Structure 1
Amino acid sequence: MQSRIIRAAAIGSIAVLGLTACSGGGEDGGSEGGSLDVWIMQGTNPDAEAFFDDVASAFKEETGADLNVDFVQWGDAHDRFVTSIAGGTTPDVAETGTTWTAEFADAGALVPLEEHVADAGLSDDLVEGLVEAGTYDEQLYGMPWYAGVRSLIYRSDIFEELGLEAPTTWQEIVDAGEAIQEAHPDMNAFAVPGGAEFITYPWVWGAGGEVAADDGGTWTSQMNSPESVEGIEFFTGLQTEHGFSSAGATTWDEVGVLDSFTAGDTAMAVMGSWTPATIVEQAPDLEGNFAAAPIPAEDGGIAPSVLGGSHLSMFNTTDDEDLSFAFIEMMTTGEFADQWAAETGYFPGQASLLDSAVSSDDPLVAPFATQFVDGGATLPVTPTFGAVQAKQTTNTAIQSILSGDASVQEALDSAAAEMTELLNAE
Structure 2
Amino acid sequence: MSNMSRRSALQLTSGMAVLGTLALAGCGRGDDTAATASAKPVDSSPAKGTVKVWAPQGDADVLAKVIKPFKAANPDLDVKFTLIPNAEYYTKLQSAIAAGKGPDLAQFFPEAQAQFLDPSILRPVPDGLVEPDSFFKSLWDAGVVKDVAYTVPWYAYTYALVYRSDLAEKAGVKAPTTWAATVPFLKALQDAGAAHGLGADIGWDIFNGQDVAMYAWQAGGSLRSADGKWTLDTPATVDALKFNASFFTSGTADPSGPTFLDAQPYFVSGRTACMITGPWVVGQLDTAAKKTGWTTSHVATAPLPAGSSGSTSFAGGGTWGVLASSGNADASWKLVRHLATPSTQVAQYKAYSSLPAVVSAWDDPAIADQPLLDAFLTQMKTTRAFPQVSTWQQVATRLGKEMEGVAKGTQSAEKAAAKVQAYAESLGSGTE
TM-score (norm 1): 0.75
The answer as to 2:49 corresponding to 1:38 is no
> After alignment, is 95-104 or 379-388 more displaced?
379-388
Q: Corresponding residue for 2:63?
A: 52
The answer as to 2:406 corresponding to 1:394 is no
Q: Corresponding residue for 1:9?
A: none
Q: Corresponding residue for 1:149?
A: 158
- In structure 2, how many angstroms separate the alpha carbons of the residues matched to 1:376 and 1:357? 24
Q: 1:276 aligns with which of 279, 282, 289?
A: 282
The answer as to 2:396 corresponding to 1:385 is no
The answer as to 2:419 corresponding to 1:414 is yes
Q: Corresponding residue for 1:200?
A: 212
Residues 124-273 of structure 1 aligned to structure 2 (within 5 Å): 126-127=134-135, 128-184=137-193, 186-187=195-196, 189-193=198-202, 194-195=204-205, 196=207, 197-215=209-227, 218-222=228-232, 224-249=233-258, 252=259, 257=263, 260-261=266-267, 265-273=271-279
Paired residues in the alignment total 378
- In structure 1, how many angstroms separate the alpha carbons of the residues matched to 2:95 and 2:157? 27
Kindly state the Cα deviation for residue 219 of structure 1 after the two structures are TM-superposed. 1.1
Task: Give the AA of the match of 1:293.
Answer: A
Instruction: Tell me the alpha carbon deviations over residues 89-130 of structure 1, each in whole angstroms, 9 at most, x when there is no partner.
Output: 433322212244442133722122315xx3x5x346642544
Counterpart secondary structure, 1:364: helix
- In structure 2, how many angstroms separate the alpha carbons of the residues matched to 1:236 and 1:87? 45
- In structure 2, how many angstroms separate the alpha carbons of the residues matched to 1:359 and 1:56? 20
Counterpart secondary structure, 2:253: coil
The question of whether the paired residues in 2 share the 8 Å contact of 1:94 and 1:312 is answered with yes
Structure 1 pair 359–55 and aligned structure 2 pair: CA distance change class (3 A): closer
Q: Corresponding residue for 1:363?
A: 371
Counterpart secondary structure, 1:144: strand
The question of whether the paired residues in 1 share the 8 Å contact of 2:104 and 2:326 is answered with yes
Structure 1 pair 106–35 and aligned structure 2 pair: CA distance change class (3 A): closer
Structure 1 pair 387–243 and aligned structure 2 pair: CA distance change class (3 A): closer
Q: Corresponding residue for 1:376?
A: 383
Q: Corresponding residue for 1:70?
A: 83
Structure 1 pair 92–256 and aligned structure 2 pair: CA distance change class (3 A): farther
Structure 1 pair 283–68 and aligned structure 2 pair: CA distance change class (3 A): farther
Task: Give the AA of the match of 2:225.
Answer: A
The question of whether the paired residues in 2 share the 8 Å contact of 1:105 and 1:141 is answered with yes
- Unpaired segments of 5 or more residues in structure 1? 1-19, 21-28
Instruction: Tell me the alpha carbon deviations over residues 351-392 of structure 1, each in whole angstroms, 9 at most, x when there is no partner.
Output: 55355589936431222222223x323432445435535xx1
The question of whether the paired residues in 2 share the 8 Å contact of 1:276 and 1:345 is answered with no
- In structure 1, how many angstroms separate the alpha carbons of the residues matched to 2:401 and 2:88? 17
Kindly state the Cα deviation for residue 154 of structure 1 after the two structures are TM-superposed. 0.6
Structure 1 pair 52–415 and aligned structure 2 pair: CA distance change class (3 A): same
Instruction: Tell me the alpha carbon deviations over residues 291-319 of structure 1, each in whole angstroms, 9 at most, x when there is no partner.
Output: 111111247x8421112343211123433
Kindly state the Cα deviation for residue 247 of structure 1 after the two structures are TM-superposed. 0.9
Q: Corresponding residue for 1:108?
A: 120
Residues 7-26 of structure 1 aligned to structure 2 (within 5 Å): none
Structure 1 pair 356–56 and aligned structure 2 pair: CA distance change class (3 A): closer
TM-score (norm 2): 0.74
- In structure 2, how many angstroms separate the alpha carbons of the residues matched to 1:279 and 1:125? 34
The question of whether the paired residues in 2 share the 8 Å contact of 1:150 and 1:305 is answered with yes
Task: Give the AA of the match of 2:65.
Answer: D
Counterpart secondary structure, 1:411: helix
Kindly state the Cα deviation for residue 320 of structure 1 after the two structures are TM-superposed. 2.0
Q: Corresponding residue for 2:4?
A: none
Structure 1 pair 57–356 and aligned structure 2 pair: CA distance change class (3 A): closer
Task: Give the AA of the match of 1:229.
Answer: V
- In structure 2, how many angstroms separate the alpha carbons of the residues matched to 1:292 and 1:69? 36
- In structure 2, how many angstroms separate the alpha carbons of the residues matched to 1:107 and 1:406? 42
Q: Percent identity?
A: 24
